[in-house]
Structure 1
Amino acid sequence: MDIFTALQTAVTGLKAQSYAIDNISGNIANSQTTGFKRIDTSFVDLIAEQTPKHEVSGTVLAQSQLSNSIQGNITATNVPTNMALNGDGFFTVQTKSGDANGQPVFNGSNLYTRRGDFTVDKDGYLVNGAGSYLLGDNLDPVTGQTASSGPIKINNGTLPAKQTTAITYNANLPRTPTTNATATGGSALYAPTNASTSVTTDTSTTATGLQVTAASASDFIDHSVVGPSLTAYTASGAPVSVTTRWAKVQDYASASQPAVWNLYYAAKSDVVGGSTAWTNTGTAFAFDSSGQLTSPAVNASTGVSSVTIPSLTVDGTTVGDITLNLGKNALTQYATSSGSVTTNALTQDGYAAGSLNSVSVSTDGKIVGAYSNGSSLAIANVGIVRFINPDGLKQESGGNFRQTLDSGNALTGLNGTTVVGSNVEQSNTDIASEFSKMIVTQQAYSANTRVMSTAQTMMSDLLNVIR
């Protein structure tokens, strides 16, 4: 290695430090850029080929070193469609290539970003501050199935009504119910004069057409306890108030004669005294000596015991067949001091028509719409991917990254990452650290200039020898 080579080496050192200060300045400039990932500088030595024991330190090469795997701070924004990723992962986005018929046209090339300051544009699409459109699955809020895949669009259309088809119920029936007839009659059991028309104790079949007439309603109410009340919905979204009562029709005597309850619902929503008839749902709910439900049996595969309430009709309005779902151990008969029914869970799957009031983002990446009818339904799934080597991505403008061979293929799924709604991820630039690197870089740059001046002086001395 001669003096001229030393001069060239010092030049590469200047270039390397210039590259480093360029990255430092960019990091500082983007210290407040949402989702920005700083670029560090790594230096690689290039040793000229020499014989053993005569190696010479050669030139230097500066390379960028991404910090995509380093999390930035997460801060609240109070914008419901803003999102931050806590953990690994990137949002999948596309950029707009133009407009056609008043609608954006996308270039079809997927990019990836941590910039989650998404807001709804005039067309309903979710766009971040750099103009990238969020991709994912648009869901049918009624069925929960994927309606389309691509740019997520918030639909402000009316949510159609859904007919009630299933009720989920969880409760404890008192082993000894306290009824109006308990104190005077000495028995809480309901034993009508014409039992064949209003009660069933046969657990092998489902009876239909069993009804307590309005004339006999007073006696029925005196020998029964209040059950759950809820609002069901017809196919058009009309609300129907359903009032129920439980009547115990048989005490436990042996395994072949279990305790049996019947469930009734009122034919009218306005239940006053004996002014309405009561319809038996037609199923004998049987319990063993320990208070466990034995019939209807729990399905081994689903873990749910289900019965059908045929043609549920209130105030002359027919809702339709309703499936009553009872989870494992969801309906029991334990002794209680109050002698009344304890309802632990009661839900139904119907609702009236409604309009979208607001949206929010769940931790699993679902965009949930809150509707005016009180329903909260998933309307989209956010497209989130992971990379084996996120630092191998190619960085582009707007906080976007492009997949490369070094990064590996995009892997779908959160894998432990959570989505934080109404928040954004800040830049992972540390100003103090960048200032420290700036001082070191400046000193290294000055040292390289000193090498250049020294080499130049030595060359001048060499030329003077010739003279």
Structure 2
Amino acid sequence: MDAAMSSAVSGLLAESTALSNISNNLSNSQTTGYKSVSTTFTSLLTELTNSSTYTSGGVSASARQNVLAQGTITSTSVTTDMAISGAGLFAVTTSLTAGQTYYTRNGAFDTDSTGNLYLSGTNYYLEGYSVNSGTASSSLSVVNIESREIDPPVATSTYSLSANFPAAAQNDLGTISYTTTSTPSTTEHLSAVYVQTGSDSAAGTTTYEVAIDAANGTTITDGTGTSGSQLLYSVTVDSAGAITAVVDMATNTTTTTLPDITPSDASTISLSTNYTSWSSFATAVGTGFSQTKSMTIYDSLGVSHAVSVTYTAAGDNKWLMTVKSASDGTLVDSNGSSVSSYSYEVSFNSDGTYSGITSLGTGETNAGGTAGSAPISSTGGPEISAIWTDGAAPTTGTSAVSMFIGSSGKSDGLSQYSSSSSTAVSITVNSYSQDGVREGTLSSVAVSSAGDVVASYTNGNSVTIYKIPVVTFANENGLTAMSDGVYSESLSSGGAVFNTAGEGASGTIEGGALESSTVNTTTEFANMITTQQAYSAASQVISTDKQMFTSLMQAIA
């Protein structure tokens, strides 16, 4: 009877333990990251005589953890909330310096008054690896957002440009339109002034071509009586500026010879033609098309500067690229002289791909007698070299802005192809980029699946400032449970292994989300009924044992 009584009492104690676990589970059914605990029962023996005879010792009960049971992950509006999908725990500590590390599945982290991320409602702080200039620290520290409140300015070091220069600009830089209204069959005279801008550096004979195209069924008749829909004339000017001949290229006959003129004189070529009302004629405009683009770069203080670059058609497959200083800075040429501008000759291959650049002289000579020229970067491209008036570090020498405008024989930067547009001839900028930024202030924080804490700033920069590890153990269920949903390492759990989220056996991190409790209330109520029945049965054993003992005492008396 003593054994029966002892077994029954142990049963009551075991079922009390089970009921306690059930109660704790139900109490934490809404606790973030909580893992439901089950009860394991183990039989006890006080004496074993043989395989068929033993003295019962009752039962013992113990709580069984399921630390890695996956709870439902629900999105929240808090960007610092985190949930682990898969195996692993977060690392937390109670010390802002070098304290002991604990572990939790609860990812409800808030920011305290000094910018530290802490487990909401507790004194545990989230730990991670700080990242500076893309390199992560090798030691854990408390994740602090406020320490990265400011994103410092970065001076521009590279500038990449992708653009198409119109091939038509070499021979067709514009249109001169003649619009007339007259009675049909009336013969009239048309006149135009053709102007060539710029100057030639060497003496010689220059030939210009002028094309006149008919429209709306117009018939054009030149001075020799030859009619057609198009007339092409070649005008030759010698080195002294005299027009020596005007040749009708369509009939290859000389139509007239004009007297010598000086470069400042205007010459008129009169053509007679028959036309219909409201007709127009166009001529090709020669070399000289020019267009200016602005590029923005940043100095060491984060101040932006607009640098003007003018591109001018300079002949077959050649363009002049002229860089002009901004009002808040002065350009510096290859020998260190301050200049207002410097130029490069940009060349293209016959297939429209980029060929290369040639640095042109600036006309400045330093004290050593070295002639200055437009600076060339170490990669062979143009360079923006300047001194700023705002006190920023000079953008010169190794700090100059290196421009990438293409690889020789490729169209990965500048190109020269005909435009498909029917609008005016223009340089088309496809894309441009530069690596400088102004100072920015923190605007938001997000956490990636790999555990990267990414800070976004008002200057458009997004920078990884911390990496949150996912910690795994050989036996997570062997961890020692503590208050606040926190666990500590034990001999049974094995040592902590710090992993990058998503690598190996570790789970990934979902930012702006929380993991729900794994408690199933339906299951817990069912377990409660079973526990109640077992407890009642143990109570009945005690009652029966008592009656049997009473009967024995009465028999003895």
The TM-score, its normalising length taken from structure 1, stands at: 0.71
| 1:6 corresponds to which of 4, 11, 17 | 4
Aligned to 1:209: none
Aligned to 2:105: 114
Tell me the CA shift for residue 362 of structure 1.
Answer: 2.4
Deviations 1:376-418 (A, max 9, x none): 2222222432223222211111111111222222222213533
Is 1:95–1:107's contact at 8 Å kept on the other side of the alignment? no
Structure 2 CA distance, aligned partners of 1:34 and 1:44? 31
Is 2:319–2:346's contact at 8 Å kept on the other side of the alignment? yes
Judged with a 3 Å threshold, the aligned counterparts in structure 2 of structure 1 residues 335 and 442 are, in CA distance, closer, same or farther, namely: farther
Is 2:34–2:106's contact at 8 Å kept on the other side of the alignment? yes
Aligned to 1:133: 125
Structure 2 CA distance, aligned partners of 1:137 and 1:369? 15
- Which has the larger share of helix? 1
Structure 1 CA distance, aligned partners of 2:73 and 2:326? 51
Deviations 1:264-284 (A, max 9, x none): 4642569xxxxx96643x887
Structure 2 CA distance, aligned partners of 1:396 and 1:177? 75
Aligned to 2:289: 222
Tell me the CA shift for residue 76 of structure 1.
Answer: 3.0
Deviations 1:2-35 (A, max 9, x none): x321221122221111111111111111112222
Tell me the CA shift for residue 81 of structure 1.
Answer: 1.8
1:457 correspondence with 2:547: yes
Judged with a 3 Å threshold, the aligned counterparts in structure 2 of structure 1 residues 286 and 150 are, in CA distance, closer, same or farther, namely: farther
Structure 2 CA distance, aligned partners of 1:261 and 1:21? 89
Deviates more, 1:330-339 or 1:19-28: 330-339
Aligned to 2:297: 232
Structure 1 CA distance, aligned partners of 2:320 and 2:107? 52
Kindly provide the amino acid, as one letter, of the partner of residue 23 in structure 1.
N
Deviations 1:328-380 (A, max 9, x none): 99559699745988767643221112222332222222222222322222222
Structure 2 CA distance, aligned partners of 1:437 and 1:250? 91
1:413 correspondence with 2:500: yes
Aligned to 2:94: 95
Kindly provide the amino acid, as one letter, of the partner of residue 35 in structure 2.
K
Structure 2 CA distance, aligned partners of 1:4 and 1:115? 47
1:429 correspondence with 2:519: yes
1:310 correspondence with 2:383: yes
Judged with a 3 Å threshold, the aligned counterparts in structure 2 of structure 1 residues 75 and 240 are, in CA distance, closer, same or farther, namely: same
Deviates more, 1:442-451 or 1:148-157: 148-157
Judged with a 3 Å threshold, the aligned counterparts in structure 2 of structure 1 residues 61 and 243 are, in CA distance, closer, same or farther, namely: farther
Kindly provide the amino acid, as one letter, of the partner of residue 380 in structure 1.
Y
Judged with a 3 Å threshold, the aligned counterparts in structure 2 of structure 1 residues 368 and 466 are, in CA distance, closer, same or farther, namely: same
State the secondary structure of the residue aligned to 1:235.
Answer: coil
State the secondary structure of the residue aligned to 2:464.
Answer: strand
Aligned to 2:236: none
| 1:349 corresponds to which of 419, 432, 435 | 435
> How many matched pairs?
400
- 1:143-182 equivalences in 2 (<5 Å): 143-146=133-136, 149-154=140-145, 155=147, 157-167=149-159, 171=162, 177-179=167-169, 181-182=171-172
State the secondary structure of the residue aligned to 2:48.
Answer: coil
Kindly provide the amino acid, as one letter, of the partner of residue 99 in structure 2.
G
Aligned to 1:440: 530
Q: Which has the larger radius of gyration?
A: 2
Deviations 1:214-269 (A, max 9, x none): xxxx9887278x98x65321111111235667889999xxxxxxxx8889464256
Kindly provide the amino acid, as one letter, of the partner of residue 159 in structure 1.
D
Judged with a 3 Å threshold, the aligned counterparts in structure 2 of structure 1 residues 90 and 466 are, in CA distance, closer, same or farther, namely: same
Aligned to 2:324: 267
Kindly provide the amino acid, as one letter, of the partner of residue 69 in structure 2.
I
Kindly provide the amino acid, as one letter, of the partner of residue 32 in structure 2.
T
- 1:36-115 equivalences in 2 (<5 Å): 36-47=34-45, 48-54=47-53, 59-96=58-95, 106=97, 108-115=99-106
State the secondary structure of the residue aligned to 1:162.
Answer: coil
Judged with a 3 Å threshold, the aligned counterparts in structure 2 of structure 1 residues 95 and 177 are, in CA distance, closer, same or farther, namely: same
Any unmatched runs of 5+ in structure 1?
97-104, 186-190, 196-217, 252-259, 271-275, 297-304
Aligned to 2:489: 403
Structure 1 CA distance, aligned partners of 2:85 and 2:448? 13
Structure 2 CA distance, aligned partners of 1:344 and 1:57? 87
Is 1:368–1:376's contact at 8 Å kept on the other side of the alignment? yes
1:388 correspondence with 2:478: no
Aligned to 1:198: none
State the secondary structure of the residue aligned to 2:532.
Answer: helix
Structure 2 CA distance, aligned partners of 1:156 and 1:442? 56
Is 1:159–1:354's contact at 8 Å kept on the other side of the alignment? yes
State the secondary structure of the residue aligned to 2:51.
Answer: coil
Judged with a 3 Å threshold, the aligned counterparts in structure 2 of structure 1 residues 238 and 23 are, in CA distance, closer, same or farther, namely: same
State the secondary structure of the residue aligned to 1:49.
Answer: strand
Structure 2 CA distance, aligned partners of 1:120 and 1:263? 56
Structure 1 CA distance, aligned partners of 2:315 and 2:10? 96
Kindly provide the amino acid, as one letter, of the partner of residue 15 in structure 1.
L
State the secondary structure of the residue aligned to 1:436.
Answer: helix
State the secondary structure of the residue aligned to 2:151.
Answer: coil
Deviations 1:285-341 (A, max 9, x none): 879x7x998999xxxxxxxx9655434449999644234578999559699745988
Structure 1 CA distance, aligned partners of 2:446 and 2:12? 51
Deviations 1:28-64 (A, max 9, x none): 1111222222221112233553412446765322121
Deviations 1:170-220 (A, max 9, x none): x5858x7453744669xxxxx99569xxxxxxxxxxxxxxxxxxxxxx988
State the secondary structure of the residue aligned to 1:92.
Answer: strand
Deviates more, 1:323-332 or 1:411-420: 323-332
State the secondary structure of the residue aligned to 2:169.
Answer: coil
Kindly provide the amino acid, as one letter, of the partner of residue 322 in structure 1.
V
Is 2:289–2:313's contact at 8 Å kept on the other side of the alignment? no
Is 1:181–1:222's contact at 8 Å kept on the other side of the alignment? no
Judged with a 3 Å threshold, the aligned counterparts in structure 2 of structure 1 residues 136 and 294 are, in CA distance, closer, same or farther, namely: farther
Structure 2 CA distance, aligned partners of 1:41 and 1:370? 47
Structure 1 CA distance, aligned partners of 2:69 and 2:35? 8
Kindly provide the amino acid, as one letter, of the partner of residue 449 in structure 2.
T
Is 1:117–1:128's contact at 8 Å kept on the other side of the alignment? yes
Deviates more, 1:176-185 or 1:21-30: 176-185
The root-mean-square deviation of aligned C-alpha atoms, in Å, is: 4.2
Structure 1 CA distance, aligned partners of 2:199 and 2:476? 74
Kindly provide the amino acid, as one letter, of the partner of residue 516 in structure 2.
Q
Aligned to 1:322: 401
Is 1:269–1:315's contact at 8 Å kept on the other side of the alignment? no
Judged with a 3 Å threshold, the aligned counterparts in structure 2 of structure 1 residues 456 and 158 are, in CA distance, closer, same or farther, namely: same
Judged with a 3 Å threshold, the aligned counterparts in structure 2 of structure 1 residues 283 and 388 are, in CA distance, closer, same or farther, namely: farther
